[in-house]
């Protein structure tokens, strides 16, 4: 989608600190990190919200990529959180599906 921030980041039209890339997925550091590790994992294909995801391989792939990135960053054994914010009540601000991989500190539950 031409006017989508994360599509532009995935195409490297806008710079980011790239953590991982393959044919279908892209991961980069969040510009405003909420934890020592805060990586955004996105499908390269544009979907506005989780509500628009139909492809099981793509949805599942997002979680598998998060797991692999957590391992690559050395946080897989200590623990991490993988968060998908969908629409207004969840605080979604960028309308291209993205999972927040957060790690490197202790998180509280329930989330605020």
At residue 97, φ and ψ (nearest 5 deg) are: -45, 130
16 interacts with ligand 5GP by CB under 6 A? yes
In angstroms, give the least distance from the CB of 48 to Zn ion: 8
Q: How far apart are alpha carbons 36 and 58 in whole angstroms?
A: 27
32 interacts with ligand 5GP by CB under 6 A? yes
Our CA dihedral for 54, 56, 58, 59, rounded to 10 degrees, sits at 80
DSSP 3-state of 50: helix
- The residue (of 58 and 94) whose beta carbon lies closer to ligand 5GP is 94
Beta bridge mates, 25: 43
When binding is defined by CB under 6 A, the residue of 18, 30, 73, 76 that contacts ligand 5GP is 30
**Catalytic option among 38, 46, 96, 98:** 98
When binding is defined by CB under 5 A, the residue of 29, 38, 44, 46 that contacts Zn ion is 46
Does residue 98 carry a catalytic annotation?
yes
Catalytic positions, please?
98
């Amino acid at each position: 989608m031409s006017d989508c921030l994360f599509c532009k980041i995935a195409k490297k039209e806008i710079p980011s600190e790239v953590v991982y890339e393959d044919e279908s997925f892209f991961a980069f550091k969040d510009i405003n990190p909420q934890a020592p590790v805060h990586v955004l994992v996105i499908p390269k294909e544009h979907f506005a919200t989780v509500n628009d995801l139909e492809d099981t391989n793509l949805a599942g792939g997002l979680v598998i990529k998060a797991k692999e990135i957590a391992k690559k960053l050395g946080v897989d054994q200590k623990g991490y959180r993988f968060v998908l914010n969908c629409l207004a009540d969840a605080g979604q601000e960028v309308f291209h599906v993205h999972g927040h991989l957060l790690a490197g500190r202790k998180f509280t539950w329930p989330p605020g």
